[in-house]
Protein backbone atom coordinates (compact mmCIF):
# COMPACT_ATOMS: atom_id res chain seq x y z
CA UNK A 1 0.00 0.00 0.00
CA UNK A 2 1.36 3.41 -0.88
CA UNK A 3 2.26 5.59 2.08
CA UNK A 4 1.54 2.97 4.72
CA UNK A 5 3.77 2.98 7.77
CA UNK A 6 3.30 1.19 11.06
CA UNK A 7 4.12 4.25 13.21
CA UNK A 8 1.80 5.32 16.02
CA UNK A 9 -0.77 7.94 14.98
CA UNK A 10 -3.42 9.74 17.03
CA UNK A 11 -6.23 7.81 15.33
CA UNK A 12 -4.55 4.53 16.09
CA UNK A 13 -4.34 5.40 19.76
CA UNK A 14 -8.08 5.83 19.89
CA UNK A 15 -8.73 2.63 17.89
CA UNK A 16 -6.49 0.70 20.23
CA UNK A 17 -8.14 2.06 23.34
CA UNK A 18 -11.64 1.32 22.02
CA UNK A 19 -10.58 -2.22 21.19
CA UNK A 20 -9.08 -2.65 24.63
CA UNK A 21 -12.18 -1.38 26.40
CA UNK A 22 -14.59 -3.43 24.32
CA UNK A 23 -12.62 -6.63 24.73
CA UNK A 24 -12.43 -6.17 28.50
CA UNK A 25 -16.13 -5.44 28.59
CA UNK A 26 -16.94 -8.54 26.55
CA UNK A 27 -14.80 -10.66 28.85
CA UNK A 28 -16.44 -9.37 32.06
CA UNK A 29 -19.88 -9.74 30.50
CA UNK A 30 -19.32 -13.33 29.43
CA UNK A 31 -17.93 -14.24 32.85
CA UNK A 32 -20.93 -12.67 34.57
CA UNK A 33 -23.34 -14.40 32.23
CA UNK A 34 -21.65 -17.77 32.75
CA UNK A 35 -21.62 -17.63 36.56
CA UNK A 36 -24.87 -15.90 37.52
CA UNK A 37 -27.67 -18.48 37.86
CA UNK A 38 -30.48 -18.51 35.35
CA UNK A 39 -33.11 -17.55 37.94
CA UNK A 40 -31.31 -14.33 38.94
CA UNK A 41 -30.93 -13.31 35.29
CA UNK A 42 -34.63 -13.98 34.72
CA UNK A 43 -35.60 -11.92 37.75
CA UNK A 44 -33.58 -9.04 36.32
CA UNK A 45 -35.64 -9.35 33.15
CA UNK A 46 -32.87 -10.80 30.93
CA UNK A 47 -34.62 -13.89 29.57
CA UNK A 48 -33.48 -14.23 25.97
CA UNK A 49 -29.80 -14.93 26.48
CA UNK A 50 -27.88 -17.98 25.19
CA UNK A 51 -28.05 -21.24 27.12
CA UNK A 52 -25.35 -21.86 29.71
CA UNK A 53 -24.30 -24.85 27.65
CA UNK A 54 -22.69 -22.39 25.26
CA UNK A 55 -20.18 -21.38 27.95
CA UNK A 56 -18.55 -24.77 27.49
CA UNK A 57 -19.38 -25.41 23.87
CA UNK A 58 -18.01 -22.27 22.24
CA UNK A 59 -14.45 -22.52 23.62
CA UNK A 60 -14.36 -26.19 22.67
CA UNK A 61 -15.54 -25.34 19.14
CA UNK A 62 -12.81 -22.72 18.87
CA UNK A 63 -10.06 -25.07 20.00
CA UNK A 64 -11.16 -27.81 17.63
CA UNK A 65 -11.27 -25.28 14.80
CA UNK A 66 -7.69 -24.31 15.53
CA UNK A 67 -6.54 -27.94 15.54
CA UNK A 68 -8.36 -28.69 12.31
CA UNK A 69 -6.86 -25.52 10.87
CA UNK A 70 -3.39 -26.99 11.30
CA UNK A 71 -4.38 -30.20 9.54
CA UNK A 72 -6.21 -28.29 6.82
CA UNK A 73 -3.25 -26.00 6.16
CA UNK A 74 -0.94 -28.98 5.80
CA UNK A 75 -3.40 -30.59 3.41
CA UNK A 76 -3.74 -27.45 1.32
CA UNK A 77 0.03 -27.23 1.06
CA UNK A 78 0.26 -30.81 -0.12
CA UNK A 79 -2.48 -30.29 -2.66
CA UNK A 80 -0.98 -27.17 -4.14
CA UNK A 81 2.50 -28.65 -4.57
CA UNK A 82 2.89 -29.22 -8.27
CA UNK A 83 3.53 -32.85 -9.30
CA UNK A 84 6.91 -33.87 -10.66
CA UNK A 85 5.74 -33.88 -14.26
CA UNK A 86 4.22 -30.43 -14.22
CA UNK A 87 5.53 -27.48 -16.20
CA UNK A 88 5.43 -25.29 -13.12
CA UNK A 89 8.55 -26.91 -11.68
CA UNK A 90 10.54 -25.32 -14.49
CA UNK A 91 8.80 -22.17 -15.53
CA UNK A 92 5.60 -20.17 -15.12
CA UNK A 93 3.41 -17.72 -16.99
CA UNK A 94 5.35 -14.59 -16.07
CA UNK A 95 8.75 -16.13 -16.64
CA UNK A 96 8.07 -16.88 -20.27
CA UNK A 97 8.06 -13.23 -21.29
CA UNK A 98 11.54 -12.63 -19.95
CA UNK A 99 13.11 -15.47 -21.85
CA UNK A 100 12.56 -13.89 -25.21
CA UNK A 101 14.40 -10.60 -24.67
CA UNK A 102 17.29 -10.22 -27.05
CA UNK A 103 20.81 -9.74 -25.80
CA UNK A 104 22.14 -6.20 -26.25
CA UNK A 105 25.87 -5.56 -26.27
CA UNK A 106 26.07 -2.05 -24.79
CA UNK A 107 23.30 -2.18 -22.22
CA UNK A 108 23.70 -3.84 -18.84
CA UNK A 109 22.28 -7.33 -18.91
CA UNK A 110 18.55 -7.40 -18.33
CA UNK A 111 17.13 -9.45 -15.54
CA UNK A 112 15.92 -12.64 -17.14
CA UNK A 113 15.26 -16.22 -16.22
CA UNK A 114 18.16 -18.48 -17.08
CA UNK A 115 16.83 -21.56 -18.91
CA UNK A 116 17.17 -24.76 -16.96
CA UNK A 117 19.46 -26.32 -19.58
CA UNK A 118 22.06 -23.61 -19.03
CA UNK A 119 21.79 -23.93 -15.25
CA UNK A 120 22.34 -27.67 -15.53
CA UNK A 121 25.38 -27.22 -17.74
CA UNK A 122 26.88 -24.82 -15.24
CA UNK A 123 26.24 -27.05 -12.25
CA UNK A 124 26.91 -30.49 -13.54
CA UNK A 125 29.49 -30.06 -16.26
CA UNK A 126 31.61 -27.28 -14.82
CA UNK A 127 31.82 -28.88 -11.39
CA UNK A 128 33.58 -31.96 -12.68
CA UNK A 129 36.46 -31.54 -10.29
CA UNK A 130 34.07 -31.71 -7.32
CA UNK A 131 32.24 -34.85 -8.35
CA UNK A 132 34.61 -36.26 -10.92
CA UNK A 133 36.76 -38.22 -8.52
CA UNK A 134 34.16 -40.94 -7.87
Partner 1 sequence: MEDERSFSDICGGRLALQRRYYSPSCREFCLSCPRLSLRSLTAVTCTVWLAAYGLFTLCENSMILSAAIFITLLGLLGYLHFVKIDQETLLIIDSLGIQMTSSYASGKESTTFIEMGKVKDVVINEAIYMKVIYYLCILLKDPMEPHGISQVVPVFQSAKPRLDCLIEVYRSCQEILAHQKATSASP
Among 13, 61, 115, 122, binds partner 1 (CB under 8 A): 115
Is 86 a binder of partner 1 (CB under 8 A)?
yes
Distance CA 12, CA 3 (A): 16
Print the binding letters for residues 12-31 with partner 1: x by CB under 8 A, - otherwise: --------------------
Contact 91, 113 (CB under 8 A): yes
Q: How far is the CB of 79 from partner 1 (least distance, A)?
A: 12
Residue 114's nearest CA partner among 123, 106, 105 is 123
Q: Would you count residue 47 as binding partner 1 (CB under 8 A)?
A: no
Asked whether position 100 contacts partner 1 by CB under 8 A, the answer is yes
Phi-psi region of 3 (alpha: psi -120 to 50; beta: other; left: phi over 0): left
Amino acid sequence: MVGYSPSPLPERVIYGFVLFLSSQFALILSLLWAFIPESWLNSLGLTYWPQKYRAFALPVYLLITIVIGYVLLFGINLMSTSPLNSMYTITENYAKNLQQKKYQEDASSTLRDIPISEVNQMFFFAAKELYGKN
